[in-house]
Amino acid sequence: MADLCGTSVEDMVGKKVSAFNPNQDEVNQYFVDNEEVMLSLQPKFIPEQRFTTPSGKAHYIQIIKKPLISEDGTADKILCVATDITDRKRTEKELESARMAAESSNLAKSEFLANMSHDLRTPLHGILGFTQILQRNEALMTEIGSAVDTIHRSGEHLLMMINDVLDLSKIEAQKLDLREAEIYLPGFLQTIVEIIRVRASQHHISFVFHIDNNIPKGILGDETRLRQILLNLLGNAVKFTQKGEVRFTVRQSDHTIHFMIEDTGIGIPQDKIQEIFLPFHQVANNHIQTEGTGLGLAICNKLLKLMHSELNVSSELGKGSTFDFYLPFKDIVISSDIITPNNQKIIGYAGRNIKILVCDDRKTNRDVLSQLLTDIGFDVVEASDGRDCLEKALAHHPDIILMDLMMPEMDGYESTRALRNMPEIKDTVVIAVSAGVFNKTREECLAAGCNDFIPKPVITDELLEKIGKYLSLKWQYDKKQSANATNSLNQKMIPPPDHVLAQYKTLVMAGRITEIQRQLKKLVQNDSQYIPFAEKIRQLAYEFRNDDIQTFIDQFLSKGDINET
């Protein structure tokens, strides 16, 4: 204390605290603490107390006060040990300031990304929305289908890059949650394989897919994130392979599923392997023009850690790379509606007229939803803001409201809260449709009273699935599609010649299901009489029932035409 007060020990002896501390409040507290120790006969620890020195400088001290008890059981003296913690306090304050600055920076970044996402997703909603409407017009697609598909794919590519930036931000802020649900693994993998097969064909390389027969049919997991990981890894393999092949293998290993992607591409230098997991980083190559954000592998690696897995990589420059991971899974019995999804085109619905109120301050957004819903037979009413929405809802009593959230005058949150307090319309189904995709947006809209949430750009199938769910609709499907399916089932089961069957059998024994499907497509293009045969194998392939495909082929070898019963 002598050093703290700028004096000597000898000079302090016999003097009161007030002689060295000009702050009377601090001196008073000092004596209050002393009295407490004397009366209780118990030591007291004071973690932090301000002490002003004779020069007026404030210090912070940590004190231990212990009563010195005499033979008669009373205390007339106190042993006081004080430690100067001013430097520690200063460090703590600096750390707190740094933490607050970081939080402020993260908040600013989150707000920027949220605004950026909203501003970019809004025009994409118009682009992807109208291309989906055009894709439903068969006559138009016959003429300009390739151009429409190109526009749609380009829009999806932009959306993917936006999502990459947002996903990395969510992961770094620990705000990305996995959403577990039932996954029908055969159908899930089939969708991915079909996408990559097309990409590989465009790059003029082979794509080989092999899956073990003992792979579980149903698992619990985050389908969206697992799809994101596999499409990213497989997409990279195709992008960086100029000749040779990309091989995708799925095996079961104990209580994990082993996913492995191999390619014969450019490879990665050994000293660059760790760098590929850094955000916004791409391994430079003068011969291949890369595209994208450079976030894909960083996101895959972080997502897999959330899934209690890890992305492994081995590579040899000029010879290719292998990426693999082991995913823990919960084996479940999958529900029938997930196993056999209905992929038919919806053209209407049965029953009374359904009225839908579309509320959005942007005319383009209203036009997209209105045209899509009108084409299916819904009666559509439009509102341009939250206040207009309430007036239209009271006047028309819609069955469902598609509510934008960010609007002038009255936003979607306020409008929904007000609607829930109006007896005439309080039970109306409200689905939020928003370009804001952070979890906070979803949670806040549900808290405001919305029944559900759909992100922009709106995917037609997702929108109709939600509407059908809440209104218990019975959909009407394209009769031409149904008729074609029925005709295929009623046709005679005619197998191709033995040498073709033998070729198919060799392929299935090698696990080359993708190649079988490619050859089946060519088979029916050359002769439509083989459609029933091809459809049967396609269905078995969709479920990865390799043994059943082999048994099915065996029954036709050297037996000629057989009708399936």
Model-wide pTM > 0.95: no
- Confidence label for 282 from pLDDT (cuts 50, 70 and 90): low
The strand pairing partners of 357, in sequence order, are 381, 401
- Residue 565: the pLDDT is 35
Q: Any idea which of 108-117, 234-243, 429-438 has the lowest mean pLDDT? A: 108-117
8-state DSSP, 328? E
Average pLDDT (271-290) is 64
- pLDDT at residue 423 in the model: 94
pLDDT surpassing 50 at residue 73: yes
Contacts of 502 (CB under 8 A, 6+ apart): 557
Higher-pLDDT residue of 30 and 513 is: 30
With a CB cutoff of 8 Å and minimum separation 6, the contacts of 64 are 43, 44, 45, 46, 80, 81
Helix 185-202 × helix 223-239 angle, to 10°: 20
Query: What's the confidence (pLDDT) of residue 345?
Result: 80
Which three-class secondary structure state does DSSP give residue 287? coil
What confidence tens digit (pLDDT) does each residue in 374-390 have? Answer: 999 999 999 999 999 99
Task: Calculate mean pLDDT across residues 279-305.
Answer: 66
Rounded Cα gap, residues 153 and 428, in angstroms: 36
Contact criterion met (CB below 8 Å) for 220 and 180:
yes
Share of the chain above pLDDT 70, in %: 84
Which one is predicted more confidently, 291 or 159? 159
Give yes or no for residue 5 having a pLDDT over 80: no
Task: Of 235-249, 324-338, 497-511, give the lowest mean pLDDT range.
Answer: 324-338
Among the CATH numbers 3.30.429.10, 2.60.40.1180, 3.30.565.10, 3.90.45.10, which is that of 181-337? 3.30.565.10
The architecture in CATH of the region 2-84 reads 2-Layer Sandwich (3.30)
* Ranges 64-73, 200-209, 486-495: which has the least confidence: 486-495
380 DSSP β-pair partners: 356
- The whole-angstrom separation of Cα 60 and Cα 85 is 6
**Binning pLDDT at 50, 70 and 90, where does residue 324 land?**
very high
**pLDDT score of 152 more than 90:** no
- Where are the chain's structural domains? 2-84, 181-337, 343-473, 479-554
Q: Would you state the pLDDT for residue 184?
A: 86
Query: Using 50, 70 and 90 to split pLDDT, how confident is the model at 508?
Result: confident
DSSP-assigned beta bridge partners for residue 83: 62
Mean pLDDT, residues 3-23 taken together? 76
CATH fold for domain 343-473? Rossmann fold (3.40.50)
Write down the pLDDT at residue 391.
96
Mean pLDDT score, 338-346: 63
Helix (H, G, I), strand (E, B) or coil at 542: helix
pLDDT over threshold 50, residue 561: no
Count of beta carbons in the 10 Å neighbourhood of residue 397: 12
Mean pLDDT of the chain: 82
Whether 2-84 and 343-473 share one fold: the answer is: no
Instruction: Please identify which residue in the block is written with the tokens 């082929």.
Output: 553
Q: Which long-range contacts (CB under 8 A, 24 or more apart) does 270-278 make?
A: 270/315, 270/317, 273/313, 273/315, 276/313, 277/301, 277/311
Out of 41-50, 101-110, 122-131, pick the least confident. Answer: 101-110
Going by C-beta distance under 8 Å and a sequence separation of 6 or more, which residues neighbour residue 457? Answer: 121, 124, 125, 127, 128, 129, 155, 159
CA-to-CA separations, 550 to 107, 343, 553, 557, 561, in angstroms, rounded: 58, 27, 5, 11, 17
The larger pLDDT score, comparing residue 8 to residue 498, is at 498
pLDDT of residue 253: 82
How much is the pLDDT for 283? Answer: 54
